[in-house]
């Protein structure tokens, strides 16, 4: 592994410059206006894969954004690692809250990243983390240290629910055959406290429309006599939590897996500074389900949140109006063994049930995804644990992630392969928010750690 350290040292600046170039392309998957940029990003990734020696690189067309695939088969007896990641990013809005333009990466020091961090949309989620795999592969191949077969599958629709990737996996089971799926799209606890993600929450995302009168009305002439759908929607939404901050949707908790006292104790032993957490967010109190700590609330408990709410007049100044319609986007984060399809039905029924007669409601579903748990007694986990320990000089803690990666549950079901969630971001890296950033320490540490995973995994699979 010494040659690899040397290789990394010799190529540090280039590894960074190449990533910065990739971050300049605005691969926003949600907005059709960026489709050409999304494609340019796929092309850039495919060029990088070819350049570092990956074979059979192709841009696979889908009904949506393309998937980049490539492979390097070095030894039929060696295990095969499927690297999954996404090159699409979240919209950069609101633009005015960025300190520098989202697609013009700059490096700045921060308190948590004293060596500097790359500020750009996608730096951490997930282009920066995907690119670590490309560079780690380059290092392994160039220094004759590639002990596993590798397949790359980098998609462009993770941020919009991975619907076409699901189809692609079903149709390409043979091509995607592998022993393990390796993913860097999650966080570590902090740069001194490495961790491996052992769970992801599922997702059920709904949109509701509440209609009152058949047209917008003068709020003086009609106000007080006719139900205002915005008022009604707010009341309905407020009723979705009880005084213990539990979700009131009937049946919501029915399938929730009970986590053992032992696991809860372990989760709570991880370093966490609540005062600092509140200070970073500028809130004087936290709010969540009674009886659970912050790590538990985000790791093992299901939640419901309004992501957006609108209706009526939202332009400059004041307009007196009693609007005809009100809308909200409501998401639920799910935990094992909740089923997003079942929760969708429960929510729909509940929401329709709580609507007063004065309004009509429509409830529609967006994408969803199943929750994931990663066992810690597998060869896959042990190899990633050893790799992290080697690179950080500390054994990583298993940690549940609060976010979702909808396709991961599918890998289990369709490809019959376990996933390793070895991400290197920090929860405070502002992914999806203005000023997203990724630490240089984290970027290079990832590149250093990945080859250890290949090494230990190949050894342990022998």
138 contact choice in Mn ion, ligand BES, none (CB below 5 to 8 Å, kind-dependent)? none
Residue 301 backbone dihedrals phi, psi, to 5 degrees? -110, 145
Distances (CA, A) of 404 to 16, 126, 371, 400: 28, 13, 7, 11
CB of 450 to ligand BES, least distance (A): 17
Residue 193's contacts (CB-CB under 8 Å, 6 or more residues apart) are 270, 271, 394, 397
Of 82, 52, 51, 88, the C-alpha closest to 69 is 82
Give the DSSP per-residue string, 259-284: PPHHHHHHHHHS---HHHHHHHHT-S
Q: Is residue 88 near Mn ion by the rule CB under 5 A? A: no
Q: Which of 71, 88, 125, 155 forms a contact with Mn ion (CB under 5 A)? A: 125
Judged by beta carbon, residue 177 or residue 412, the one nearer ligand BES is 412
Judged by beta carbon, residue 93 or residue 242, the one nearer Mn ion is 93
Judged by beta carbon, residue 125 or residue 179, the one nearer Mn ion is 125
403 contact choice in ligand BES, Mn ion, none (CB below 5 to 8 Å, kind-dependent)? ligand BES
Q: Is residue 155 near Mn ion by the rule CB under 5 A? A: no
Judged by beta carbon, residue 185 or residue 430, the one nearer Mn ion is 185
367 contact choice in Mn ion, ligand BES, none (CB below 5 to 8 Å, kind-dependent)? ligand BES
404 contact choice in ligand BES, Mn ion, none (CB below 5 to 8 Å, kind-dependent)? ligand BES
**3-state class (DSSP) for residue 298:** helix
Q: Is residue 126 near Mn ion by the rule CB under 5 A? A: yes
CB of 291 to ligand BES, least distance (A): 24
Token pair for 381? 């986990």
CB of 164 to ligand BES, least distance (A): 13
- Asked if 438 contacts 423 with a C-beta cutoff of 8 angstroms, the reply is no
Residue 372 backbone dihedrals phi, psi, to 5 degrees? -135, 140
x/- map, 185-224, Mn ion, by CB under 5 A: x---------------------------------------
Question: In the 3-class helix/strand/coil scheme, how is 86-131 assigned residue by residue?
Answer: ECCECCCCCHHHCCCCCCCCEEECCCCCCCCEEECCCCCCCHHHHH
Judged by beta carbon, residue 27 or residue 404, the one nearer ligand BES is 404
Residue nearest to ligand BES (CB): 403
Place of tokens 């009604």: 232
CB of 197 to ligand BES, least distance (A): 6
Q: Measured between alpha carbons, how far is 138 from 132 in angstroms, rounded to an integer?
A: 10
CB of 14 to ligand BES, least distance (A): 26
Task: Give the binding-site size for Mn ion (rule: CB under 5 A).
Answer: 3
Kindly report the CA angle at 71 between 89 and 16, in degrees rounded to 5? 45
CB of 367 to Mn ion, least distance (A): 13
Distances (CA, A) of 170 to 141, 175, 218: 30, 10, 54
Site for Mn ion in 170-189 (CB under 5 A): 185
Instruction: List residues near ligand BES by CB under 6 A.
Output: 125-126, 158-159, 161, 185-187, 200, 203, 367, 369, 401, 403-406
Judged by beta carbon, residue 147 or residue 371, the one nearer ligand BES is 371
CB of 129 to ligand BES, least distance (A): 8
């Amino acid at each position: 592994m010494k040659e690899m350290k040397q290789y990394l040292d010799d190529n540090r600046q280039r590894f960074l410059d190449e990533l910065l170039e990739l971050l300049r392309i605005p691969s926003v998957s949600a907005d059709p206006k960026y489709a050409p940029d999304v494609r340019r990003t796929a092309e850039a990734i495919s060029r990088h894969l070819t350049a570092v020696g990956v074979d059979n690189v192709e841009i696979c067309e889908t009904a949506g954004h393309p998937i980049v695939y490539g492979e390097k088969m070095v030894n039929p007896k060696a295990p095969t690692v499927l690297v999954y990641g996404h090159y699409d990013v979240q919209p950069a809005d609101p633009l005015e809250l960025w300190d520098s333009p989202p697609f013009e990466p700059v490096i700045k020091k921060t308190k948590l990243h004293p060596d500097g961090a790359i500020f750009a949309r996608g730096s951490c989620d997930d282009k920066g983390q995907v690119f670590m795999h490309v560079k780690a592969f380059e290092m392994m191949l160039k220094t004759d240290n590639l002990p596993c077969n590798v397949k790359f599958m980098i998609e462009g629709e993770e941020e919009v629910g991975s619907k076409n990737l699901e189809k692609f996996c079903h149709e390409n089971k043979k091509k995607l055959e592998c022993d393990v799926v390796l993913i860097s799209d999650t966080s570590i606890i902090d740069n001194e406290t490495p961790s491996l993600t052992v769970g992801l929450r599922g997702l059920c995302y709904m949109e509701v429309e509440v209609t009152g009168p058949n047209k917008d009305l003068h709020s003086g002439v009609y106000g007080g006599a006719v139900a205002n759908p915005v008022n009604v929607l707010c009341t309905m939404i407020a009723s979705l939590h009880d005084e213990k901050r539990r979700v009131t949707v009937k049946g919501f908790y029915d399938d929730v897996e009970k986590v053992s006292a032992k696991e809860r104790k372990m989760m709570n032993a991880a370093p966490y500074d609540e005062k600092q957490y509140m200070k970073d967010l500028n809130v004087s109190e936290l709010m969540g389900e009674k009886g659970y700590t912050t790590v538990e609330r985000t790791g093992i408990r299901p939640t419901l949140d309004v992501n957006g709410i609108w209706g009526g007049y939202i332009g400059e100044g004041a307009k007196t109006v009693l609007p005809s319609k009100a809308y909200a986007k409501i998401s639920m984060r799910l935990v094992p063994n909740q089923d997003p399809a079942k929760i969708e039905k429960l929510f729909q029924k509940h929401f329709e049930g709580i609507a007063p007669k004065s309004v009509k409601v429509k409830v529609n579903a967006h994408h969803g995804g199943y929750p994931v748990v990663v066992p810690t007694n597998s060869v896959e986990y042990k190899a990633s644990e050893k790799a992290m320990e080697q690179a950080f000089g500390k054994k990583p803690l298993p940690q549940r992630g609060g976010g979702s990666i909808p396709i991961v549950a599918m890998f289990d079901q369709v490809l019959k392969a376990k996933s390793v969630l070895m991400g290197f971001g920090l929860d405070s890296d502002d992914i999806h928010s203005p000023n997203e950033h990724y630490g240089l320490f984290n970027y290079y540490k990832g590149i250093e750690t990945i080859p250890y995973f290949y090494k230990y995994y190949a050894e342990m699979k022998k």
